[in-house]
């Protein structure tokens, strides 16, 4: 029987559980369109992402897939065109300028790929870590020494960045990002300019921040050394989350990684390009519902004269 108008109204008025609930990071149908000289580029096209508090997460994807755009939105540097972006309960689309400044100073810490961009070259390691505390009007106390110690770079407290190696600069940069006890650390290719041994040290420092301070860490990376050591890796393609790899410890202590395609709320999923290419799938596919799976077949167009 069809529902009556009043039943439909009651259904529409009922409060629905918000997507992602009270997760630490919630992006729901996030859209970011850049307009330059009349040309529109859709960098994020309805991206969904839910991250729980305390997660250590990697984001991977081809160049231009939207990773940096997402990180810029989450860091409060950029405002998305539409959708929902919420971090620690704060709505990133509706913040006042004052809230945004507080958010950037106290809720989130950021690490860039370019080591030189993270630190002021004329300040020592300790002074660099103390600067965000001074700007936020906080007491400095022993915190900078503790953070440099946690990152394994106590010896850099009195050195200026040009006197530190690239890996040391990045570890001091993590201490700077942690200065005001943020809830979230965002890092854009933090090991991009480093060799593998140094990358391991920098990633180890990020992992310590995550495990010992409970900070949620989101790392954009091309570095397999990083993406293969986190519990969850999110793949972004064409401005949307397309895949997720979950890692867990197997019965014999080995790491088992399983890759999944992401099914969004309206039922869209992206088939991996190598799968569709292998079967020449284009434009249309045939779907069949089986008792425990859905089959996807290429459509073979028959030449007109054979029909």
Ligand X SMILES: Nc1ncnc2c1ncn2[C@@H]1O[C@H](COP(=O)(O)OP(=O)(O)OP(=O)(O)O)[C@@H](O)[C@H]1O
* 68 belongs to the binding site for ligand X (CB under 6 A): yes
CA gap 108, 10 in Å, rounded: 40
CA gap 155, 31 in Å, rounded: 44
Nearest residue to 33 (alpha-carbon basis) of 24, 22, 44, 25: 44
Nearest residue to 206 (alpha-carbon basis) of 198, 197, 195, 215: 215
R_g of the chain, CA atoms, integer Å: 23
User: Which 8-state DSSP code applies to residue 284?
Assistant: B
Nearest residue to 174 (alpha-carbon basis) of 138, 141, 128: 128
CA gap 132, 126 in Å, rounded: 11
The region of 2-10, 34-42, 148-156, 286-294 touching ligand X under the rule CB under 6 A is 34-42
Task: Find the shortest distance in angstroms from Cβ 223 to ligand X.
Answer: 12
* 2 belongs to the binding site for ligand X (CB under 6 A): no
Task: Find the shortest distance in angstroms from Cβ 89 to ligand X.
Answer: 25
* 4 belongs to the binding site for ligand X (CB under 6 A): no
CA gap 246, 259 in Å, rounded: 6
Contact 67, 234 (CB under 8 A): no
The region of 62-70, 143-151, 246-254, 289-297 touching ligand X under the rule CB under 6 A is 62-70
Q: Which lies closer to ligand X via its Cβ, residue 183 or residue 241? A: 241
Q: Which lies closer to ligand X via its Cβ, residue 52 or residue 78? A: 78
* 69 belongs to the binding site for ligand X (CB under 6 A): yes
CA gap 131, 120 in Å, rounded: 10
* 77 belongs to the binding site for ligand X (CB under 6 A): no
Please list, in sequence order, all residues whose beta carbon lies within 8 angstroms of the beta carbon of residue 70, skipping any fewer than 6 positions away. Answer: 27, 30, 44, 47, 49, 59, 220, 236
* 34 belongs to the binding site for ligand X (CB under 6 A): yes
Q: Which lies closer to ligand X via its Cβ, residue 188 or residue 201? A: 188
Q: Contact with ligand X (CB under 6 A): which of 26, 27, 43, 92? A: 43
The region of 57-65, 95-103, 210-218, 289-297 touching ligand X under the rule CB under 6 A is 57-65
* 67 belongs to the binding site for ligand X (CB under 6 A): yes
* 190 belongs to the binding site for ligand X (CB under 6 A): no
Task: Find the shortest distance in angstroms from Cβ 34 to ligand X.
Answer: 3
CA gap 129, 109 in Å, rounded: 12
Q: Which lies closer to ligand X via its Cβ, residue 68 or residue 270? A: 68
Q: Contact with ligand X (CB under 6 A): which of 2, 6, 36, 96? A: 36
Q: Contact with ligand X (CB under 6 A): which of 64, 121, 204, 224? A: 64
Q: Contact with ligand X (CB under 6 A): which of 65, 170, 199, 242? A: 65
**Interface contacts to ligand X, rule CB under 6 A:** 34, 36, 41, 43, 61, 63-69
């Amino acid at each position: 029987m069809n529902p009556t108008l009043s039943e439909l109204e009651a259904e529409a008025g009922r409060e629905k559980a918000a997507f992602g609930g009270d997760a630490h990071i919630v992006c729901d149908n996030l859209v970011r369109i850049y307009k330059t000289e009349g040309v529109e580029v859709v960098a994020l096209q309805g991206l969904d992402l839910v991250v729980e508090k305390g997660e250590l997460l990697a984001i991977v994807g081809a160049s231009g897939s939207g990773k940096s755009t997402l990180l810029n939105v989450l860091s409060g540097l950029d405002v998305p065109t539409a959708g929902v972006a919420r971090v620690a309960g704060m709505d990133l689309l509706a913040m006042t300028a004052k809230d945004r400044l507080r958010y950037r100073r106290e809720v989130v810490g950021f690490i860039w790929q370019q080591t030189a961009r993270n630190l002021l070259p004329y300040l020592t390691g300790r002074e660099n870590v103390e600067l965000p505390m001074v700007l936020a009007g906080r007491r400095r106390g022993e915190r900078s020494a503790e953070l440099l110690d946690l990152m394994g770079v106590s010896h850099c407290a009195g050195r200026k960045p040009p006197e530190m190696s690239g890996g040391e600069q990045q570890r001091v940069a993590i201490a700077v990002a942690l200065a005001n006890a943020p809830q979230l650390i965002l890092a854009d290719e933090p090991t991009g300019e480093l060799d593998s041994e140094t990358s391991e040290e920098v990633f180890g420092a990020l992992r310590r921040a995550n495990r010992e301070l409970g900070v949620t860490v989101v790392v954009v990376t091309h570095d397999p050394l990083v993406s293969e050591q986190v519990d969850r890796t999110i793949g972004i393609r064409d401005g949307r989350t397309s895949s997720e790899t979950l890692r867990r410890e197997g019965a014999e202590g080995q790491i088992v990684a399983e890759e999944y395609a992401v099914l969004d709320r309206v039922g869209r999923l992206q088939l991996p390009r190598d799968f569709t290419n292998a079967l020449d799938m284009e434009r249309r596919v045939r779907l069949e519902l089986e008792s425990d799976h859905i089959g996807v077949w290429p459509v073979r167009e028959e030449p007109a004269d054979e029909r």
